Structure 1
Amino acid sequence: MTLMLTGWMLYSLWIVLGLMALDFLVGLFRSLRVGDFSPALIVGYLQDIVYYVFPLLLLASISTLDTTGWIVLTGYYIGALGVALKYVLGLKGKL
């Protein structure tokens, strides 16, 4: 199996990773400003990469096996939208 990230799939993955990075930086800034830095902050984002980004990459890699060409892609885009909304709402709560 090969990883097939094309077009909007690549853009949606960049949006998810960008929002994760922005949320991490805001959380890091807040924890350093308050003086309550914990390694759990970093471990939490590594865990989020495994729970949210890895399944998206897995869907991208099995999209070549989909004979219809749209079922797996729909799942990928719904998943990416869900993760992006999670981080947008998380950022809204932090700011």
Structure 2
Amino acid sequence: MKQIKDILGKKSGKTKNIHTSRHALAEEMAGYFNEPKDYRKYLGVCHQHPEEELRRLFSEIKQEEKRNPKISPVKLFFFKLKQIEKIHGKRKNENISERRKSA
């Protein structure tokens, strides 16, 4: 008779606390920037800004790193994020703030 652990197989190495696309984006950014211990920092950024804007910015950073590998992608990401905040003001995610008001 087979044991349950043999049937289910081994656990994947991925984080099991990925519930939303924002969590997935934060994990992807932390992994790409080689800062897996700073996952919570990127999750906070994901909760403070619209997801589409962060995905666009993240793809720009990836392309820029290919063009100029000497630039630190982490520093460039936060620099561009601050530039966006200066232009548009610090924008909170509408869905998160609505949930907090109703709770």
TM-score (norm. length: structure 2):
0.35
Larger radius of gyration: 2
Between the two structures, name the one with larger relative contact order (CA 8 Å, sep ≥ 6).
1
| Structure with higher helix content | 1
